[in-house]
Structure 1
Amino acid sequence: MHEAGSDSVKQEDAKQGDNRPRGIKSYVLRAGRMTAAQTRGLKEVWPRLGLTLEAGRQEPERLFGRRAPLVVEIGFGMGASLIEQARTHPESDFIGIEVHPPGVGKLLDEADKQGLTNLRVYREDALKVLAECLPESSIDTLQLFFPDPWPKKKHHKRRILQPAFVELVRTRLKPGGTLHMATDWQAYAEHMVEVMGAAPGYRNVAPAKTAPYVSRPDFRPLTKFELRGERLGHGVWDLIFAREA
């Protein structure tokens, strides 16, 4: 989800320098107030639904106790969309990845209140989760909805959608599995098209009449943020690329 730039970004840039692409993060951690429900989620629900890097590699069938389609969402924000998907698609399993405590706590609290058993959560860097915890060819769908666009040119290196990320995702997708992206920044949508168009092992599933984009699929819930944008006349661009066999 969108995160605006801050002084901490400038300080990190100065510390790392432009010649150090490794270690550059696509997000900025900020302290924020926790509600009682969010705190409850982190304290009481986390032991049951939370996952950590330290636990190592996870086999989805063992984790959920069944064989089912696996959907992974990176940067779920406050979790409303992911909760809705898990609730309305009980036949699938979901893993959410988010670094911000309020969002993780909110999602865990809501998942517990709704009795969802097909949802697990990482509060970790998504790149580390993909590289260290999720097996190759294990994901049916990876969702990247409204990531931080980092609109300033000097911060474009922080965009999560980069060639190395796309290749890592490809190895974790099943053959035929999809990378589904959505953004409300046209320039970032164009960046996504450029990066994905150059990425080997993918094909754009968009029909000719809307290519390179697709209409919002019914399975991607509309968020309050997106509904507000629609009222203001803002555009939203969806892209879906499938891993080739």
Structure 2
Amino acid sequence: MYRVILVDDERLIIRGLSTVVPWAELGCEVAGTAHDGISGLELIRSIHPDIVLTDIRMPNMDGLTMLAAIRSEFPDIQMSVLTAYRDFEYARQAITLGVCRYLLKPSNLDELKEAFRQMVSRLDAMPQLRDEEPEDESVKEAGNHLVKAALAYMKEHCTEQHLSLGEVADHVYVSQWHLSKLLNRETDQSFFDLLGSMRIAKAKEMLKNPSYRIHEIAEETGFSDVAHFSRSFKKITGCTPGEYRNRES
């Protein structure tokens, strides 16, 4: 029996799906349910299901990034979406991120059964496909989506002194280890190298304004002290902050 997780913030939907869908007939069983994206991902990491049926318009959640996170970190999981969100471009992006079916609420039982049959069929074929396929394009697309989202978040928050890999990973719904792997693969840089480069880029702009003192720039760009700032600046640019300011003035 393939294990299924249902994720939807409408408890009535979860209750209906759990009881109305003929799970045994489809070769499936409901292994867990969740009412928001975060707890849904925690459940996925805990149970390692075969199939996920999820809404993508839930409070405090970026639905596309959550789908990308599941696809990238758990590429064997089959996903379908059940949502009231009727947007063609959004649905197209969801499909590129590996979603099997994009179902609109209210969906009838035949549509649901067909979606599960399709996901079960994919799972049945997986042992053979695993031996034959290069990496699925949707997995690459998911990784790209997550890296772009992570870099955007880092750029927005890079001047915060305590910004961590864990915080960014939480923002894009993956583990720290997985995000670190994706960043290295896509950028050839570590999280800390990327963060340092972003901070130095901000510092360069501030150094062009003579009203800012060096220690103020260090503090404003997220460095713990002036010495750390100066070392990092020279490592990346080849000169000290003072030398850079004199050269640019």
Q: TM-score range by the shorter chain?
A: 0.3 to 0.5
Q: Which has the higher contact order (CA 8 A, sep 6+)?
A: 1
TM-score (norm 2): 0.34
**Higher helix fraction (1 or 2):** 2
